[in-house]
């Protein structure tokens, strides 16, 4: 085996080992920080005068943020050339589902106290809740099929199924926009980020490579 091939194999093994031992746990911890801070504030009385509302808003915002971060992984990988970024996507997507689920459970458990009759009426009659609930439903099959076994089982259909994340993110932005009554800056910002990510989704991979080469030469 040529020396260069051996070196490349060793480097690849070292990178995978680093991912398993350092990067993956570090990303997990960072993703869990908002939840830990929420638990701390709830335990120490650090929430606002309306704690249920604050928990609802914080979990919802972080769910939407993680959805957008998940969607940004592929464009970032193509722009930087760091293929290892793709290893973070599954974890980020699952954390997005985790925070969105916490957001929904806060509404069911803390806000409505399991009043399912009223909850069903609320979902049917209030558009922003209808859109938010639909977005959460779209994320369920994505979370359930995020394992390697499901990826192998579904084959090419897996990629088509997971494009639903764009619809879920769009629904999340719309849910946020309709929920906010006065200051629209934050939902508009999130919506703008989503539009950019959707536009990048249409850019051919070859163009990303040319752009990356141009940035590298200038750097």
pLDDT in tens, the chain (219 residues): 454 444 444 455 666 666 677 888 899 999 999 999 999 999 999 998 899 999 999 999 999 999 999 999 988 888 887 888 888 999 999 999 999 999 999 999 999 888 989 999 999 999 999 999 999 999 999 999 999 999 999 898 888 899 999 999 999 999 999 998 778 899 999 999 999 999 888 776 666 666 656 555 555
Determine the pLDDT at residue 1: 46
Question: How many whole angstroms separate alpha carbon 172 and alpha carbon 133?
Answer: 9
Q: Which two tokens stand for residue 105?
A: 């459970």
Determine the pLDDT at residue 16: 67
Helix (H, G, I), strand (E, B) or coil at 113: coil
Determine the pLDDT at residue 10: 46
H helix and E strand count, the chain = 11, 0
Question: How many whole angstroms separate alpha carbon 108 and alpha carbon 112?
Answer: 5
Residues with Cβ < 8 Å from 189, sequence gap 6 or more?
A: none
Q: Residue holding tokens 């459970």?
A: 105
Helix (H, G, I), strand (E, B) or coil at 178: helix
What number of other Cβ atoms are within 10 A of residue 52's Cβ?
14
pTM over 0.95: no
Determine the pLDDT at residue 182: 78
Residues with Cβ < 8 Å from 15, sequence gap 6 or more?
A: 84
- Chain-centroid distance, C-alpha 200: 17
Determine the pLDDT at residue 7: 45
């Amino acid at each position: 085996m040529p020396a260069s091939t051996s070196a490349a194999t060793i480097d690849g093994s070292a990178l995978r080992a680093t991912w398993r031992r350092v990067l993956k746990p570090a990303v997990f911890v960072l993703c869990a920080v908002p939840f830990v801070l929420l638990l701390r504030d709830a335990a120490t009385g650090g929430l606002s005068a309306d704690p249920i509302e604050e928990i609802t808003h914080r979990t919802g915002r972080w769910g939407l943020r993680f959805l957008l971060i998940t969607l940004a992984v592929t464009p970032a990988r193509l722009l930087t050339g760091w293929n290892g970024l793709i290893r973070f996507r599954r974890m980020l997507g699952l954390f997005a589902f985790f925070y969105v689920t916490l957001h929904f459970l806060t509404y069911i458990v803390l806000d409505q106290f399991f009043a399912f009759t009223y909850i069903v009426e609320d979902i049917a009659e209030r558009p922003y809740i209808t859109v938010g609930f639909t977005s959460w439903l779209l994320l369920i099959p994505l979370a359930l099929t995020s394992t390697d076994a499901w990826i192998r089982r579904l084959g090419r259909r897996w990629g088509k199924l997971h494009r639903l994340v764009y619809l879920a993110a769009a629904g999340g932005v719309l849910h946020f926009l309709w929920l906010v009554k006065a200051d629209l800056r934050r939902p508009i910002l999130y919506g703008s980020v989503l539009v950019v990510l959707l536009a990048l989704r249409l850019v051919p991979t070859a163009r990303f490579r040319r752009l990356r080469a141009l940035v590298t030469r200038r750097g």
